[in-house]
């Protein structure tokens, strides 16, 4: 069924649904002529849909009267427990680490399409290979009642999906969501057998396993954190000592006077021969050897212009040359009076043609030289006194002491010390050096055995960093006890610390099997026993059931959906991937958890579905159905999204091209524009809540989801509302006013969050990163983020910077007044920074080939 066919079926269904049953077929014949297939398709939909049952089901879902005792106190809503949308999507696939096939907890119903990004014409909503297209229809007015099932004029029926190869299920879905009465009867027959056999064993086994696992997790967490903190302290102390030691050398009179004399010689005669033959050049060498007690000490002296005045080379081959471009920044810092630590890094030949004296990593200190008046007249780089070897030894000893993998990384995710485990696990290739330092980018090789064991290969440049290194290199400290893949493709658990002073990260990891081997043995033993007992109980129950007359099954409203896998469980609901039995369409099915089936949570569940169903933009996730089963359980059927979040986009390829960022932001504005026009503020716009996929004709296609924290600007008196006493949302993407006044709902708060996403896409970093919440709040309220150009290491056009700054203005009055105004500015900039479909396809071939 193509898009035109779908539109025709939908139009006929909505028209004929309100007619008496005996007039429906005649009406279809008058409209369809001799197209019997079209008549059959519409009639099959009518057979599934019971108008009267939907009406009764909607009436039964109205909000019960609140007792007078509760009328003056409504339950507070918080970001962690009060709203399920955020909690549920945090477990959805494609949210880090290592998950796939995301879904949304909030969605929309069809309505008039909003213009696509970059002025493209909207297309009718169809689904092929998981790519979301736009749709057409009329916008239904939001309902003023509390009913949760839409009337026929608001219902949505979509054409079948083209089913791709399904991913392997992470977890088998529960078989007990909808059951016929006959199945319940069979379960009752087996109940007493289960209680007598499985339950005691399961309880004892589960208690034993949880105790063992809890003890192992705690001890592993303490071990990893303890080693990480100890190594961080040792590294910090060691590097501080090295800085103080070299500073003491440069303050010695003989060395300082020799360098000052050489500077004066250069001012009088700057020829290379004069510098090489100057007596002060030899005095510098003698003074350094005397101070360091290292006969092979290596050094380079620069004047304030970056010219090499002297070096450790006997022939002075590099004298008269200039500092390398990539070292100019460090030289400038030293000229300002700072002591700068250089490396670890493998040296390469400079412009003068002087070849490095070693192929191994080196470390050095770059120090200022002051004259008698305290002015910096020159700088000196000192190395060759064993600084790198001593640092590397700290990590080797930490690794060997506890059977751990302990190594250091820089801000680019490059391993800068030698890991004994890496030397054992990786193939070093043709290199004769027993070293991986500064040669291994610590990336996740996936499941490919070939790339997992290679030290240096082209494919590692395109792979995402491992979970721990991605966090550490972005300036974070933390730990992860859920297994993730390391650079060799092995499952590990780990802890990491970022030492900001020295711009180095410390990673401590242990293989997951060794960390939880004892718990796994206990678990497998009780599972085997449970399987034997379960088989016995089910066999006995089946025989009893065959002798029992089954009552006629009462079919559950969701029986037409086939469960594929459980995607995640949030604070209120469990979300499954499901497939419509007749239409073949993949959906995300959310069911209210049994332990949250109370008045407050049911009303909150209703409110979330109603708010999401009022939206229809093609860049907003879609709701298909909502209601309650015959036992009162609430459910919501919504669009199943395939793709990766913007968080994963940046994690895979770093900061994005300017044109691509603008193109994506324009689509986000389309989604938020419709929500704001309907008086709805999202309140949790962040990279993790925007799904990106590849559209064959448009290129990048963004979809906003998770409206679990959304709030109306003007609450409906007929709808259940929550009162907020603390802020709800993701702190680093929240507008300053959201901290000060959580109850103040302003659409410009979403504009601030869009600005944060723009900063994230353009810089590859969140605008503010801080472990302590209070410190993070202070940054958001008072400070400006680091310039985007610093992260990109390149100039960024001023209009782009101005756009981000205006979105992220501290005062709401200084921001764009509406999302539409922001969209107009994006349209203007997109014309100057285009992003083509072919560019999008090229990115997806490299970084998103596995996305369905």
Known binding positions for ATP:
590
**Any residues with CB less than 8 A from the CB of 407 and at least 6 apart, and which?**
395, 399, 415, 416, 417, 418, 419, 422, 506, 507
Q: Give SS3 for 284.
A: helix
Q: Give SS3 for 703.
A: strand
Q: Give SS3 for 370.
A: strand
Cα R_g (the chain), whole angstroms: 33
The span from the CA of 110 to the CA of 155, in Å, is 9
* Matching residue, tokens 């949030």: 570
The span from the CA of 779 to the CA of 781, in Å, is 5
The full length of the chain comes to 852
CB 592 within 8 A of CB 633: yes
| 46: nearest Cα among 72, 19, 65 | 19
Give the tokens for residue 339. Answer: 């002591």
CB 783 within 8 A of CB 768: yes
Sign of CA dihedral 739, 742, 746, 752: positive
CB 380 within 8 A of CB 369: yes
Q: Give SS3 for 558.
A: coil
The span from the CA of 10 to the CA of 156, in Å, is 8
CB 704 within 8 A of CB 620: yes
The span from the CA of 382 to the CA of 247, in Å, is 10
Distance of CA 562 to the CA centre of its chain: 29
Sign of CA dihedral 472, 474, 480, 483: negative
> What letter would DSSP give residue 717?
T
CB 694 within 8 A of CB 851: yes
**Any residues with CB less than 8 A from the CB of 832 and at least 6 apart, and which?**
797, 799
**Any residues with CB less than 8 A from the CB of 350 and at least 6 apart, and which?**
318, 321, 324
CB 646 within 8 A of CB 692: yes
Q: What are phi and psi of 816, to 5 degrees?
A: -60, 140
The span from the CA of 538 to the CA of 534, in Å, is 6
- Provide the terminal-to-terminal Cα distance of the chain, rounded to the nearest Å: 21
**Any residues with CB less than 8 A from the CB of 720 and at least 6 apart, and which?**
63, 146, 603, 604, 606, 607
User: Can you give 721-745 as a three-state secondary structure string?
Assistant: CCECCCCCCCHHHCCHHHHHCCCCC
The span from the CA of 546 to the CA of 551, in Å, is 13
Give the tokens for residue 754. Answer: 């869009």
> What letter would DSSP give residue 765?
S
Residues 588, 594, 600, 605: what is their CA dihedral angle, to the nearest 10 degrees?
Answer: 10
Cβ atoms within 10 Å, residue 69: 7
CB 490 within 8 A of CB 484: no
Q: What are phi and psi of 283, to 5 degrees?
A: -65, -35
> What letter would DSSP give residue 484?
E
Q: Which residues are annotated as a binding site?
A: 590
Burial class (CB in 10 A: 0-12, 13-18, 19+), 208: middle
Q: Give SS3 for 702.
A: strand
């Amino acid at each position: 069924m193509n898009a035109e066919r779908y539109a025709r079926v939908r139009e006929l269904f909505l028209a004929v649904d309100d007619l008496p049953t005996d007039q429906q077929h005649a009406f279809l014949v008058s409209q369809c002529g001799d197209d019997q297939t079209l008549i059959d398709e519409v009639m099959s939909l009518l057979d599934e849909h019971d108008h009267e049952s939907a009406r009764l089901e909607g009436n039964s879902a109205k909000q019960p009267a609140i007792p007078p005792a509760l009328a003056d106190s409504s339950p507070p809503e918080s970001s962690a427990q009060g709203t399920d949308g955020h909690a549920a999507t945090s477990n959805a696939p494609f949210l880090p680490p290592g998950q796939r096939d995301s879904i949304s907890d909030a969605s929309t119903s069809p309505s008039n399409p909003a213009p696509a990004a970059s002025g493209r014409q909207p297309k009718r909503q169809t689904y092929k290979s998981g790519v979301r297209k736009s749709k057409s229809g009329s916008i239904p007015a939001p309902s003023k009642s509390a009913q949760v099932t839409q009337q026929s004029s608001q219902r949505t029926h979509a054409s079948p999906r083209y089913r791709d190869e399904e991913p392997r299920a992470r977890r088998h879905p529960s078989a007990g969501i909808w059951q016929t009465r006959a199945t319940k009867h069979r379960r009752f027959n087996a109940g007493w057998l289960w209680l007598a056999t499985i339950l005691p064993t399961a309880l004892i086994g589960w208690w034993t396993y949880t105790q063992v696992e809890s003890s192992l997790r705690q001890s592993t967490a303490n071990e990893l954190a303890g080693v990480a903190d100890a190594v961080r302290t040792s590294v910090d102390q060691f590097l501080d000592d090295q800085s103080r030691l070299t500073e003491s050398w440069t303050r010695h009179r003989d060395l300082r006077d020799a360098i000052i004399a050489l500077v004066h010689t250069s001012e009088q005669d700057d020829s290379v021969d004069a510098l090489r033959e100057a007596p002060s050049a030899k005095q510098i060498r003698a003074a350094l050897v005397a101070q360091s007690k290292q006969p092979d000490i290596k050094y380079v002296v620069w004047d304030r212009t970056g010219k090499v005045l002297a070096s450790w080379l006997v022939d002075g081959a590099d004298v008269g040359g200039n500092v390398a471009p990539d070292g100019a920044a460090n030289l400038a810092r030293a000229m300002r009076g700072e002591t700068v630590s250089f490396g670890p890094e493998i040296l390469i030949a400079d412009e003068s043609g002087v070849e490095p004296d070693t192929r191994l990593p080196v470390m050095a200190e770059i120090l200022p030289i002051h004259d008698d008046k305290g002015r910096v007249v020159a700088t000196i780089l000192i190395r060759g006194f064993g600084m790198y070897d001593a640092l590397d030894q700290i990590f080797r000893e930490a690794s060997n002491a506890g059977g751990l993998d302990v190594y250091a990384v820089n801000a680019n995710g490059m391993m800068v010390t030698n890991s004994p485990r890496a030397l054992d696990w990786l193939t070093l290739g043709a290199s004769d050096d027993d070293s991986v330092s500064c040669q291994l980018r610590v990336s996740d090789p996936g499941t490919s055995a070939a790339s997992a064991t290679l030290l240096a290969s082209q494919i590692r440049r395109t792979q995402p960093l491992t979970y721990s290194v991605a966090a550490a290199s972005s300036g974070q400290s933390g730990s992860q006890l859920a297994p993730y893949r390391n650079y060799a493709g092995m499952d590990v658990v780990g802890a990491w610390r970022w030492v900001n002073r020295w711009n180095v990260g410390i990673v401590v990891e242990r293989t997951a099997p060794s960390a939880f081997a004892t718990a796994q043995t206990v678990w497998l033993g009780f599972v085997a026993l449970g399987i034997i007992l379960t088989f016995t109980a089910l066999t006995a129950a089946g025989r009893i059931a065959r002798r029992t007359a089954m009552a006629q099954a009462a079919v559950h409203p969701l029986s037409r959906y086939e469960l594929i896998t459980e995607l995640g469980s949030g604070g209120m609901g469990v979300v499954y991937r499901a497939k419509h039995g007749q239409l073949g369409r993949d959906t995300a099915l959310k069911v209210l958890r049994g332990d949250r089936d109370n008045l407050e949570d049911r009303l909150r569940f209703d409110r979330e579905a109603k708010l999401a169903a009022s939206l229809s933009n093609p860049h907003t996730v879609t709701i298909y159905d909502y209601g309650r089963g015959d036992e009162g359980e609430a459910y919501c059927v919504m669009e199943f999204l395939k793709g990766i979040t913007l968080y994963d986009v940046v994690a895979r390829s770093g900061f994005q091209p300017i044109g691509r960022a603008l193109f994506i932001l324009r689509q986000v504005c389309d989604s938020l524009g419709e929500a704001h026009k309907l008086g709805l503020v999202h309140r949790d716009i962040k990279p993790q809540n925007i799904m990106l996929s590849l559209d064959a004709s448009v290129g990048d296609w963004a979809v906003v989801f998770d409206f679990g924290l959304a709030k109306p600007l003007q609450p409906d008196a007929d709808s259940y509302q929550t009162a907020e006493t603390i802020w709800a949302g993701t702190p680093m993407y929240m507008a300053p006013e959201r901290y000060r006044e959580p109850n103040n709902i302003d659409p410009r708060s979403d504009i601030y969050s869009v600005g944060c996403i723009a900063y994230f896409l353009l810089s590859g970093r969140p605008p503010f990163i801080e472990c302590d919440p209070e410190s993070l709040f202070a940054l958001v309220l008072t400070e400006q983020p680091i310039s985007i150009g610093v992260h990109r290491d390149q100039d960024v056009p001023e209009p782009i910077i101005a756009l981000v700054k205006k979105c992220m203005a501290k005062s709401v009055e200084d921001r764009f007044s509406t999302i539409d105004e922001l969209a107009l500015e994006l349209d203007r900039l997109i014309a100057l920074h285009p992003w083509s479909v072919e560019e999008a396809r090229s990115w997806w071939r490299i970084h998103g080939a596995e996305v369905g």
